[in-house]
């Protein structure tokens, strides 16, 4: 007749997994053996332990180890003269047997939903058209009283399928910033970020023309002469200009406690682009 929202408490079990306590309150209705309407309002405490492990595919996985039901309170509208024998028999033969089969499968269903999230975590992630990124579990999960630690190996593939070599540098947990309560902390190494940017390196190449700089003065040789007077006499007059940006070498990420830097190395080649002939290079800048 009535099932109240459960009260759920969770705790991490060091070296194991997850402990769950669920207070369930419900009202069961039916016919008593004398034919009268019967209501039983009960509160039960479900406790369950689950193990966090690594499956054969290298994916984190929760598995239910045990599930127990304890009756906290039972109230009924039956006359008090019937309570002793009827209630005792009902509790022993019915509730204690029925409730585990009714409630424990819900814990399994919840763990299956979490495991489905873990499975998606290891699928390949496209990095645009430049390549793919994939995570696999490097070591079995570690559970402490405060957090669950997952050490992940990152696998980067270029679009040609070649795997990018990544140093296996693992920061010490003692050197990491304090974790806030009820939060997930993701630590990425400078080497990983540099490698990921290197896979995307070709994506930084672009040709800048008038169509890409709306609202700015037209990209013509006269404008370049105004910006750099020293070359004004060498430039053909009023010719459209195209700037070819090309990555020169792999990006570098540097992380320090105070700040972080991303360095992108490229060249900017300025080409005059007359309508009646092939583009001609004017000069190249290192950027």
Confirm if 61 and 31 have CB atoms less than 8 A apart. Answer: no
Query: Tens digits of per-residue pLDDT, 212-258?
Result: 666 777 788 888 888 888 888 888 888 888 899 999 988 999 988 78
Cβ–Cβ under 8 Å, residues 221 and 199: no
Measured CA to CA, the distance from residue 182 to residue 185 in angstroms comes to 10
- Extract the tokens encoding 51: 């193990």
Q: What is the pLDDT of residue 45?
A: 94
Residues 6+ apart with CB under 8 A from 157: 131, 132, 133, 134, 163, 164, 199
List helix spans (H) across 122-179. Answer: none
Task: In whole angstroms, give the CA distance from residue 73 to residue 227.
Answer: 84
By the 8 A CB rule, do 247 and 262 touch?
no
Tens-digit pLDDT profile for residues 12-59? 999 999 999 999 999 988 887 667 788 888 899 999 999 999 988 889
For the entire predicted model, the pTM comes to: 0.66
Q: Say if CB 247 and CB 202 are below 8 A apart.
A: yes
Indicate the SS3 state at residue 277.
coil
pLDDT, residue 173, reads: 59
Q: Provide the token pair at 17.
A: 């997994």
Query: Domain segments of the chain: what residues?
Result: 7-120, 187-286
Average pLDDT over residues 164-169: 76
Do residues 285 and 265 touch, judged by C-beta distance below 8 A?
A: no
Q: Report whether pLDDT(10) > 90.
A: yes
pLDDT of residue 84: 62
Q: The dihedral of CA 276, 282, 284, 287: what is its sign?
A: negative
Fold of 7-120: Bactericidal permeability-increasing protein; domain 1 (3.15.10)
């Amino acid at each position: 007749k009535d099932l109240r929202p459960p009260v759920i408490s969770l705790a991490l079990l060091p070296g194991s997994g997850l402990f769950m306590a669920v207070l369930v309150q419900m009202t069961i209705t039916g016919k008593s053996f004398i034919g009268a309407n019967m209501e039983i309002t009960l509160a039960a405490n479900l406790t369950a332990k689950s193990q966090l492990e690594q499956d054969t595919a290298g994916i984190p996985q929760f598995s239910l180890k045990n599930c127990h039901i304890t009756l906290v309170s039972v109230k009924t509208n039956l006359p008090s003269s019937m309570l002793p024998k009827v209630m005792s028999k009902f509790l022993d033969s019915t509730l204690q047997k029925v409730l585990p089969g009714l409630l424990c499968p819900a814990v399994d269903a919840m763990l299956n939903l979490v495991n489905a999230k873990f499975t998606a975590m290891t699928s390949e992630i496209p990095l645009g058209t430049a390549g793919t990124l994939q995570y696999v579990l490097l070591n079995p999960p570690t559970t402490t009283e405060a957090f669950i630690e997952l050490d992940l190996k990152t696998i980067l593939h270029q679009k040609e399928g070649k795997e990018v070599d990544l140093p296996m540098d693992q920061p010490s947990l003692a050197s990491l910033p304090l974790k806030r309560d009820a939060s997930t902390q993701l630590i990425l190494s400078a080497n990983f970020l540099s490698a990921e940017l290197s896979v995307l390196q070709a994506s930084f190449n672009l040709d800048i023309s008038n169509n890409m700089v709306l609202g700015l003065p037209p990209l013509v040789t006269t404008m370049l002469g105004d910006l750099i007077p020293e070359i004004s006499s060498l430039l053909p007059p009023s010719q459209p200009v195209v700037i070819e940006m090309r990555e020169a070498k792999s990006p570098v990420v540097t992380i320090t406690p105070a700040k972080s830097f991303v360095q992108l190395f490229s060249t900017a080649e300025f080409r005059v682009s007359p309508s009646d002939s092939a583009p001609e290079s004017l000069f190249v800048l290192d950027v």
